[in-house]
Amino acid sequence: MATDSQRGVVAVEFALCIIVFLMMVFATIEYARMMYLWNTQQEVVRRAARAAATADFADAGAMQALRRSALFRADDGALALAPGVTPDVLRIEYLSLSAAGTLAPLPVLPGCPARNVVNCNSNPYGASCIRFVRVRLCADGAGAGGCPPLPYVRLMPLVPVPAQLPPSTLTMRAESLGFRPGDALCP
């Protein structure tokens, strides 16, 4: 039978071991959440790029619906487990391709998808022809020049994890951009 001093030693040993064990459990949860967010960000960018390549870029409602859908949402709320990932941080850029092979954002988008078809048929390497779509997740307040990665908000402050999530960017070839044969040409 254990004496009182042995019971006290067992209680102290248990307290020390449970602290180490719980720290390992919390670190595992935090790293699993970070990996989930990294993977989900890549999927959000892929879904948004695919939809942007076929959606009417001139329709603001369609573009907002595209952003919501890419985030697996029906409203303007944040991505699950990521309060900072909202439709506002999803940046969609339409790019032209120069004859030298350089991609550059269009300074002014064509008025409608039909106008883009006309622009691309007349000069496929012109600055008014959308050839590619780039989608990125950029931190709030990011200007047109840069795209800082999203910060990672920890659930448990004692667990050391990176302060930022890796950048999520995808560039893909533009497809219909919402053009349907027979659409009227806009100005």
pLDDT digits (tens, 9 = 90+) for 55-112: 999 999 999 999 999 999 999 888 888 888 889 899 999 999 999 999 999 989 999 9
Residue 54 within a domain:
yes
How long, in residues, is the chain? 187
Distance CA 5, CA 141 (A): 61
* pLDDT tens-digit map of 110-148: 999 999 999 999 999 999 999 999 999 988 655 556 888
Q: Is 178 left (phi over 0), alpha (psi -120 to 50) or beta?
A: left
Residue 181 within a domain:
no
Residues 6+ apart with CB under 8 A from 111: 58, 186, 187
Alpha carbon separation from 88 to 142, 154, 163, 182 (Å, rounded): 11, 21, 20, 33
Residue 138 within a domain:
yes
Residue 183 within a domain:
no
Residue 117 within a domain:
yes
- Count how many domains the chain has: 1
Residue 167 within a domain:
yes
Residue 183: predicted pLDDT = 84
Residue 30 within a domain:
yes
Q: What is the pTM of this model?
A: 0.83
Specify whether the CB–CB gap between 78 and 84 falls below 8 A: yes
Residue 186 within a domain:
no
Q: Which residue has the tokens 């000069």?
A: 123
Range of the domain at 108: 4-173
